[in-house]
Amino acid sequence: MIPMSSDRRFLTFPAIHPCSAVSPAALLADISSLAADIQASGSPQSDHFRTHRRAAREAVRFASVIISFLDDLCFPATLPSAAILSLSDLHVTLQKLRLLLSDCARGGARLWILMNAARVAGEFHALLRSFGPALEVLPVDSMDVSDEIRELLRFLAGQARRVDAGVEVVDDRAARSVRSMFTKFESGESPDADDLRRVLNHLNIKSWSDCLEEVGFLEEQIFADEENGDSALLWSAMGLMIYSMVVVFDSTTSGNKKKMEGFFFLRRESTVAVKHLPSDELRCPISLELMKDPVTVSTGQTYDGPSILRWLKSGHQTCPITGEKLSSSVLIPNSVVRKLVGVYCHENGISISQKRKTSKRDLSKTLSPATPAAVAAIRMASTVIVGKLAAESPEKKSIAAYIIRMLTKSNNFNRICFVEAGAIPLLLNLLSSSDPSLQENAAASLLNLSKHHSGRTDIFESAGLAPVVETMKIGHKAEARQNAAAILFYLAAIEECRRAIGDMPEAIPGVVELLGNGTYRGKKNAILTIYALLLFSGNQAKILAAEAVAAISKLIETEEEDLVTDCVGLLAKIAERDDGADVILKSGYVVDQLVNVLRISSSPSGREYCASALLSLCNNGGEKAMIMLEKMPLLIPSLYSLLSDGSRQASKKARSLLNCMHQFADQAYAQRRPPPPADPMIHVL
């Protein structure tokens, strides 16, 4: 079985050609699985295919004929070379066709598929026609199949030669309507509401949540577009979806209101569900670890993606739990289990790091839209959304705050638009809401806006420090509290704001308190915020008075390595000043922790931070620090190890610390050594 890759670019169709030594049984079994996947992609009359319906119908029909042929065939031990060649070509075609159908049915990609109708139709045309040559050279007369199947294959080969999978009339009409809307946006006009609704109905986009899914997909493609070849069309399409989301769909109309209530209800219910769900239900039956990438196989069982892929690649074709033969190689992402795992980890303070390699997003791509149409559409939509924040209806406020949260998550231009539209004062007011979900969405939106310099400036100038600190202290939910702490981190980038935060009696104690009782992300946000506040020297005494060193020490003892690395980095910053070094030395145990982390940590940054902290303690703590370090026999071997295999900067710090220790040892030895005996006096007569 060939699992579908999740790393490929959209509308690209990589395929693996079977090797020349492939066994007939394996080749036929794989073709059967691929054809079954295509057939299972659903009826073209369903909502899976909103465009290219005729081509999708032909693809499903072609796959059904292949399945009939394989069901009728008695799998032989050997096949003629012509048959192997023909079936290998058919195997490649089916791989590509499965990927094409998967892209056409992908949630959130409906508008993008429509705007690339000619390209998609060309792919269908080429793949469906390739059935012809593959089947024409297949020696069906020498294969053990019925006469009916032979005739069916010959008929299919002839049809494939003549197939015409061009752009359908309804798709072409809808695509031309969308382009005319782009033109209207560019001239500063709003598109005709009836035309827009017709296009949305054609794509089966029926709610604000459908639009939001489209926006998310289009934004992904903007980040993935390395050569910016599709940038203009992507931005225009995204602007249209944002406009549709807030102008066409009213969240308080009957259908959308139910969807909105269901959305927030599911979020609340998932938190309740994990409290009564045994953690074993969230663990992979193969690896017994929490499922970071849960996928469901054809038998309905769910496994962690990497584990089931290793199982399949090792040659197994059965379900590990039931033992049933897998009828399809498709691994379907299980978003429900993924959300439950996320909630479970969130509620229990567990970090579930993703080991999958993810490319870092270049946010500069979102700083300026590629087209005037996108600029106009997004600005119009931003004004409407911000207006809903001031509405009397709690439903409108909830959905508006959530939409702002999602649209500003990784898009700089959207952040600028919402700041300019006046969102920040209204969001600050919502922090005092008695509705936990509304407060959480408002805090998350403010966090996203604070990542842009205009946003954090507006928060500070709108007297936003007080409500943010209050949310950090007594927010309804852990996520709201940790987001408020992260807002303070970004606000601390403003020099005047660092001083103002320190002057608030509850601010620094509140951040330090989060080190002890926050979730994993809450603790990480608190560490970063304290580090930023230390950039103003007047805050150090207040941070020490809040017993931050003791809280950091507890984290080092109990948390995983990446959080420990952040902790020792924070201690290194505190130790740069005399008062900080004095508090660390008085605790005693913290010095032991620094030496232990230096010795056992696998993090290069963590070891360098330890060396930096210990060096600052020597420089600022004087003889007291040197005496403590001298009594630690494992320190010097660890420093020599860092000297040999650490970075240039880490080696430099290790060398400086070793020199300090050697000089102190030499001075101590010189003081303890008895004076040399006086030379005997010789009297000369």
Write down the mean pLDDT value for the chain: 86
Whether pLDDT at 412 is above 90:
yes
CB burial of 426-446 (b: ≥16 within 10 Å; e: otherwise) equals: bbbebbebebebbbbbbbbbb
Q: What is the pLDDT of residue 684?
A: 53
User: How far is residue 340 CA from its own chain's centroid?
Assistant: 16
Q: What is the mean pLDDT of residues 431-458?
A: 94
Residues 459/428, Cβ–Cβ less than 8 Å: yes
- Look at residues 101, 104, 125 and name the one whose alpha carbon lies nearest to residue 114: 104
Spatial separation of the C-alpha atoms in residues 610 and 624, rounded to whole Å:
18
Between 45-54, 274-283, 327-336, the lowest mean confidence (pLDDT) is in 274-283
Angle at 574 between CA 572 and CA 580, to 5 degrees: 125
pLDDT 10s digits, 395-410: 889 889 999 999 999 9
Share of the chain above pLDDT 70, in %: 88
Spatial separation of the C-alpha atoms in residues 337 and 296, rounded to whole Å:
10
Structure tokens at 483: 């987001």
Spatial separation of the C-alpha atoms in residues 178 and 192, rounded to whole Å:
11
Confidence of residue 681 (pLDDT cuts 50, 70, 90): low
Round to the nearest angstrom and report the end-to-end CA distance of the chain: 111
Q: What is the pLDDT of residue 668?
A: 62
Share of the chain above pLDDT 90, in %: 52
Spatial separation of the C-alpha atoms in residues 652 and 629, rounded to whole Å:
18
Query: Where would I find the beta strands (DSSP E) of 123-253?
Result: none
Instruction: List, in sequence order, every residue forming a beta bridge with 333; answer none if it has no partner.
Output: 295
Residue 295 Cα distances to 57, 104, 269, 314, 355, angstroms: 27, 20, 22, 18, 16
- Helices of type H across 367-477: 372-389, 394-407, 412-420, 423-430, 436-450, 453-461, 465-474
Instruction: List, in sequence order, every residue forming a beta bridge with 303; answer none if it has no partner.
Output: 295
Whether pLDDT at 353 is above 60:
no
Q: What is the pLDDT of residue 264?
A: 46
pLDDT 10s digits, 251-268: 444 444 444 444 444 444
pLDDT 10s digits, 432-441: 999 999 999 9
- Highest average pLDDT, of 12-21, 469-478, 518-527, 659-668, comes from 469-478
Q: What is the pLDDT of residue 172?
A: 96
Residues 89/105, Cβ–Cβ less than 8 Å: no
Strands 332-333 and 302-304, by their bridges, are unpaired
- Look at residues 463, 467, 410, 408 and name the one whose alpha carbon lies nearest to residue 439: 467
- What is the pTM (predicted TM-score) of this model? 0.79
Between 62-66, 341-345, 481-485, the lowest mean confidence (pLDDT) is in 341-345
**Cβ atoms within 10 Å of 504's Cβ, excluding its own:** 16
Spatial separation of the C-alpha atoms in residues 632 and 238, rounded to whole Å:
61
- The DSSP output letter for 476 is S
Whether pLDDT at 309 is above 90:
no
Whether pLDDT at 349 is above 70:
no
Residues 285/320, Cβ–Cβ less than 8 Å: yes
The residue written with tokens 């081509």 in the block is 55
Structure tokens at 405: 């949260």
pLDDT 10s digits, 539-596: 999 999 999 999 999 999 876 778 899 999 999 999 999 999 999 998 878 999 999 9
Q: What is the pLDDT of residue 334?
A: 80
pLDDT 10s digits, 487-538: 999 999 999 999 999 999 999 999 999 998 888 888 999 999 999 999 999 9
Q: What is the pLDDT of residue 4?
A: 46
Q: What is the mean pLDDT of residues 176-194?
A: 93
pLDDT 10s digits, 82-96: 889 999 999 999 999
* Three-class SS state of 526: helix
